[in-house]
């Protein structure tokens, strides 16, 4: 802008969930507050995976990480996953959406739509991590779809603060189908507090379904 240049491209930021929801959240808030013309894409694999699977603000309850190890007393991570969609919406930015690697066409459409808006845009993409989550690489898309089909990860889209689209679920699956495929949640099926965590995750999914009207 200072050089008088226009229409030379778009500024796009890619960052993980730790950099987004924890380390860089103050800078992100400042960017949203000033409504800089930037598309910010959070690649959400629900932990600090580059440095060895430590808990982040977007780690879901019950996850076994190196900083929330499941053991005799601790049933994995305690506390809910941070709601970054509501955080972004609270700043009044023009475009906010979630997406999943299970639906690449949806990602492409949302990126194209986001850059049509002037100001800050936020897209959070759910990205299973093979090593951190303890899944087989050939099950990545299956696990990603289950996160959506259980309503643990709602796919939503907001324009100027208004909810304009949601991905409906034809036949919602219980969260246990999602959890049992991942080593990070395996302890929940035998830990003394495991059933309590599973029920909490099911409540979160049920609340998401009700909040966004996900059930067809």
pLDDT tens figures, 166-200: 999 999 999 999 999 999 999 999 999 999 999 99
> In this structure, are strands 121-126 and 38-44 parallel, antiparallel, or unpaired?
parallel
Burial environment of residue 68 by CB neighbours within 10 A (0 to 12, 13 to 18, 19 or more): buried
Answer left, alpha or beta for residue 213, where phi above 0 means left and psi between -120 and 50 means alpha: left
Written as six digits, the tokens of 110 are: 């949302």
Mean pLDDT of all residues in the chain?
96
> Tell me: the pLDDT tens digits for 140-173?
999 999 999 999 999 999 999 999 999 999 999 9
> Tell me: the pLDDT tens digits for 17-53?
999 999 999 999 999 999 999 999 999 999 999 999 9
Rounded CA gap, 120 and 39, in Å? 6
**Structure-token match 């100027």, residue found:** 160
pTM: 0.95
Distances (CA, A) of 203 to 20, 89, 111, 183, 184: 26, 23, 31, 21, 19
């Amino acid at each position: 802008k200072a050089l008088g240049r226009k229409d030379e491209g778009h500024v796009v930021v890619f960052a993980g969930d730790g950099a987004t929801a924890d380390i860089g959240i103050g800078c992100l808030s400042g960017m949203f507050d000033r409504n800089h013309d930037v598309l910010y894409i959070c690649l959400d694999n629900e932990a600090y995976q580059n440095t060895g699977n430590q808990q982040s603000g977007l780690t879901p309850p019950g996850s076994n990480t190196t900083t929330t190890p499941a053991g005799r007393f601790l049933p994995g991570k305690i506390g809910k996953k941070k709601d970054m969609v509501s955080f972004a919406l609270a700043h009044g930015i023009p475009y906010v959406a979630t997406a999943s690697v299970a639906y690449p066409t949806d990602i492409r459409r949302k990126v194209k739509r986001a850059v049509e808006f002037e100001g800050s845009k936020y897209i959070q993409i759910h990205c299973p991590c093979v090593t951190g989550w303890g899944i087989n690489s050939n099950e990545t898309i299956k696990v990603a779809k289950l996160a959506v089909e259980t309503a643990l990860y709602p796919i939503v889209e907001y324009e100027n603060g208004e909810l304009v689209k949601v991905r409906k679920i034809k036949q919602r699956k219980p969260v246990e189908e999602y959890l049992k495929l991942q080593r990070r949640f395996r302890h929940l099926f035998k830990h003394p507090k495991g059933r309590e965590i599973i029920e909490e995750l099911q409540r979160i999914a049920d609340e998401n379904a009700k909040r966004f009207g996900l059930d067809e």
